Structure 1
């Protein structure tokens, strides 16, 4: 079933692509305060389908943002002290209206059909379900922070990059779906390097155990998953991670990754690696599932 096509992958920098994508995911989750983001796209044989999304945000971060929001409200009231003060609505990081509005950015014809607030011991957020008529019109941003509203006082930057996934679907018996994942490795490496201080860009050893332990605590409990499910039997695919009719594009379990620092060093140092070798290395790293193909093709009936 795993029909790997080496023409779909550039040999140079494959492991760098994985390494820098992991770093970007860490950065996105940390900056946004997310501790869990899950997305499952289900596709029918006629090209219609659903998108199921679950987002949890750290309760401590939400508390901090609530305080920031109150501060901005007070500042606004002071500027307009002569105006009558309306009763402030309770702070809410997520709202059904915001999620429904974001559906339009996923592609033409995407509609929110269900929304539910969810909570865990450490996080709070929502679970949502969307429907679409044509997978060809879907172009989702897989960046964890894209599901969040703007922070208090934050302005949207015109230079912010979107990490969009595109699809090409051909109906038939069997139906054929082509998945085209997000950022190329060159863009990922450039973005990470530009944002990193010069004294941290070298490969010199010396990251202290204490610093690493602090990093582990920062990312503890975080997870990011993105999967595609076809509603039928898979006949042929080059996808690397297949479970029944579900194809996993990304599954980053940061607890497992950070418990194996030596494996992360392999990712960082393996600048040139063949596709076959890259697959073997990834198989041995707990906590990382990342399909390295530029195009993932699946036929199903």
Structure 2
């Protein structure tokens, strides 16, 4: 099981434990470059129950996450205020509240910024996990920031540029002993498929105006989708399962690679996207 978890860590940067998560991030941009970041973060109910069990046994760090009646909660306003600083010096927390759905529990947070060029959005969902759920204290692949950055020029039309990070190279010595080259058994694969079921991570940019032109791959009205990663769409893909079992996770080490390999996913694969709007 440990080997399977290590393979999943390499599957997509920052996806460790993301199988139990749904994360929706919407960045709204005004014509003057100001805007908001709306984020909904949910963890599956069974994972919440497991974390509550650990909490009740005194194995969690109370400084890392808020405590609910069940012993564990992802909603921690002080931590969300710290998360605002990670997004940029110009970002501030406007509102935050606990969130509960049929999928699970988490929070809904809204941040505001005055200058979009001063914000950065981390693609790695592991960065949003409470620290006691991350892999130790060192900076592992699942914790390495993978920032999307923005450029802006006001005018008529205004121009927003979105720059994606370069694909991360898989660490290792390239030998048969490296994590990326370890093969997965049928049992490991079945466990991973079950664990990642219903995982969904989305990132959208909404323009408060009308889009004049864009080279974005996915646009609907005034909305550009940068990422809509639904793991369920991969569950029946034989090529995806084959590459997992053959230990070729280094070929799937980031979202953009997944978008190129499996076109059914809504994942922007251009290194830079430009949107003209007014």
If asked which structure has higher relative contact order (CA below 8 Å, sep 6+), I would say 1
Quick check: 1:171 aligned with 2:154?
A: yes
Displacement of 1:63 after TM fit? 2.5
Match of 2:170 among 183, 186, 190: 190
Q: 1:145-184 to 2 correspondence within 5 Å? A: 145-151=126-132, 156-158=137-139, 160-182=143-165, 184=166
Q: 1:192-271 to 2 correspondence within 5 Å? A: 198=177, 201-202=180-181, 209-262=186-239
1:230–1:245 contact (8 Å) kept in structure 2: yes
1:111–1:132 contact (8 Å) kept in structure 2: yes
2:15–2:124 contact (8 Å) kept in structure 1: no
Displacement of 1:224 after TM fit? 0.7
Match of 1:105 among 58, 75, 86: 86
Q: 1:14-53 to 2 correspondence within 5 Å? A: 23-24=12-13, 26-27=15-16, 29-30=18-19, 34-53=20-39
Q: Secondary structure at the match of 1:190?
A: coil
Q: Secondary structure at the match of 2:194?
A: helix
Match of 1:123 among 92, 100, 104: 104
2:124–2:144 contact (8 Å) kept in structure 1: no
Q: Secondary structure at the match of 1:162?
A: coil
Compared with structure 1, are the counterparts of its residues 37 and 197 closer, same or farther at alpha carbon in structure 2 (3 Å cutoff)? farther
Compared with structure 1, are the counterparts of its residues 195 and 152 closer, same or farther at alpha carbon in structure 2 (3 Å cutoff)? farther
Match of 1:96 among 65, 71, 77: 77
Q: Which stretches in structure 2 are left out of the alignment for 5+ residues?
A: 1-8, 63-67, 252-257
Residue-pair matches, total: 254
Compared with structure 1, are the counterparts of its residues 42 and 74 closer, same or farther at alpha carbon in structure 2 (3 Å cutoff)? closer
In the superposition, the TM-score normalised over structure 1's length comes to 0.71
Q: Structure 1 CA distance, aligned partners of 2:85 and 2:277? A: 28
The structure where helix makes up a greater share of residues is 1
Compared with structure 1, are the counterparts of its residues 219 and 196 closer, same or farther at alpha carbon in structure 2 (3 Å cutoff)? farther
Compared with structure 1, are the counterparts of its residues 112 and 219 closer, same or farther at alpha carbon in structure 2 (3 Å cutoff)? same
Q: Structure 1 CA distance, aligned partners of 2:268 and 2:101? A: 29
Q: What is the RMSD of the two structures over their aligned residues, measured on CA atoms? A: 3.7
Compared with structure 1, are the counterparts of its residues 199 and 153 closer, same or farther at alpha carbon in structure 2 (3 Å cutoff)? closer
In the superposition, the TM-score normalised over structure 2's length comes to 0.76
Between 1:260-269 and 1:95-104, the stretch displaced more is 260-269
